[in-house]
Amino acid sequence: MIVTEKKKIEDILEKIRDCKKIVIFGCGDCATLCKTGGKDEVEELKKILEDNEKQVVYTSVIDISCDERIVKKELKNLPEYDCIISLSCGTGTQTVGDIIEKPVFSGLDSKYAGSTRRIGHFTEKCSLCGECIINDFGGICPITRCSKHLLNGPCGGSVDGKCEVGDKDCAWVLIYKRMKKQGREKELLQYRKPKNWK
């Protein structure tokens, strides 16, 4: 699931300052689970925009905003509008923007791919970096889950299994415990080259 946060309303209003007629799209998938782009959030944004003298001409929560087939159907019969605000991740917003000519503005910031602990509470697990290395680390990603993105062991700054940077578990403590439980801890002695960020 892609975890998102709402952008500041001031930033959205600044981007749409020249737009009078607005369409708002939410996403029925990840953004709904994050409580950033579901029906309630679309209605909340609509009210805020109308309070700021904008005319919201159409709203919808698209089942899956990153599915081009679904988005194309939604875009077929829109009334006249100046721009769209998309309450979805960057992929969903770009999917809409790739299909139409008019401006599409994101109302959310995409943070990371995570797992859901409970509705509205997520754990960051993946940075979608395109070079997955979790097989070497017991299924735990040190790029995402280690605050310092270390690939060859811990920094030595953790206390009682907690990272010195923020309030989260030390990824390397988790990796070591899991690899030891699997009888694979000797694999951690292998040196890994720095990640190729290209």
Is the pTM value of this prediction over 0.85?
no
pLDDT tens-digit series, residues 45-76: 999 999 999 999 999 999 999 999 999 999 99
Q: How many domains does the chain have?
A: 2
* 93 plus 170 within the same structural domain: no
Q: Can you give the pLDDT at residue 134?
A: 85
Domain boundary among 80, 111, 142: 111
Q: Is residue 38 assigned to a domain? A: yes
Q: Is residue 168, in this structure, part of any structural domain at all? A: yes
Instruction: Say yes or no: 8 and 104 in one domain.
Output: yes
Is the same domain home to 104 and 131? no
Claim to verify: residue 143 and residue 84 sit in the same structural domain: no
Residue 194 domain flag: no
For 138-164, the pLDDT digits (tens) are 888 898 889 898 999 999 888 999 999
Q: What CATH number is given to the structural domain containing 56?
A: 3.40.50.2300
- Tell me, yes or no, whether 101 and 147 share the same domain: no
pLDDT tens track of the chain, all 198 residues? 888 999 999 999 999 999 999 999 999 999 999 999 999 999 999 999 999 999 999 999 999 999 999 999 999 989 999 999 999 998 899 899 889 889 999 999 988 887 777 777 777 788 887 777 888 898 888 988 898 989 999 998 889 999 998 778 999 999 999 889 989 899 999 998 887 777
Going by their DSSP bridges, the two strands 21-27 and 2-6 should be labelled as: unpaired
Q: Where are the alpha helices (H) located in 1-141, listed in sequence order? A: 9-15, 30-34, 39-51, 68-75, 90-99
Domain boundary among 56, 80, 111: 111
Question: Do 43 and 94 belong to one domain?
Answer: yes
Range of the domain at 44: 2-111
